[in-house]
Amino acid sequence: MRAVVQRVTRASVDVEGERVGEIGRGYMVLLGVEDGDTDADLNYIAKKLIGLRVFEDADEKMNLSLADVGGEILLVSQFTLAGDVRKGNRPSFITAARPEIAEPMCDTLVQRIREAGIKVETGRFRTHMEVSLLNDGPVTILIDSRKGF
């Protein structure tokens, strides 16, 4: 499971002209679910998102988490994070989890984060989405449950 986490001042996602998710200060998270991802991968990503400390403290050091700053998450499923471009120029998405597997995993991840007291908004699975964000910093962190970074 892969996540691209961007610290944002605000973010939103629209589907067919309708705003389906919107947050203020927090994280814009693009999530890619891959074949073979398990509950352990979900737990790893949830723990990292909840505990990630990339907001500045009084000394201007990245030392505060979402909970510390009252932050929110906008989580958008993005199968293209499983794209492999090592051969040629057209990405292969063969390792992306099938929608019937990926969607419930995304839903479970959202629920786990909410259980930690963090507000989570989402996009709409299997639709064309327009995502807007104001990156704060910019700060962008990559999390991969299999590579441990």
Is residue 149 in a domain?
no
Q: What is the pTM of this model?
A: 0.95
CA gap 26, 120 in Å, rounded? 10
Is residue 8 in a domain?
yes
Is residue 17 in a domain?
yes
CATH number at residue 79: 3.50.80.10
Contacts of 83 (CB under 8 A, 6+ apart): 91, 92, 93, 96
Is residue 117 in a domain?
yes
| Torsional class of 21: left (φ above 0), alpha (ψ -120 to 50), beta (otherwise) | beta
Quick one: pLDDT band at residue 147, thresholds 50, 70, 90?
confident
Look up the domain containing 42 and give its range.
2-144
Cis before residue 138, ω within 30 degrees of 0? Answer: yes
pLDDT tens-place string over residues 33-83: 999 999 999 999 999 999 999 999 999 999 999 999 999 999 999 999 999
Is residue 125 in a domain?
yes
pLDDT tens-place string over residues 98-144: 999 999 999 999 999 999 999 999 999 999 999 999 999 999 999 99
Catalytic residues: 78-80
Count how many domains the chain has: 1
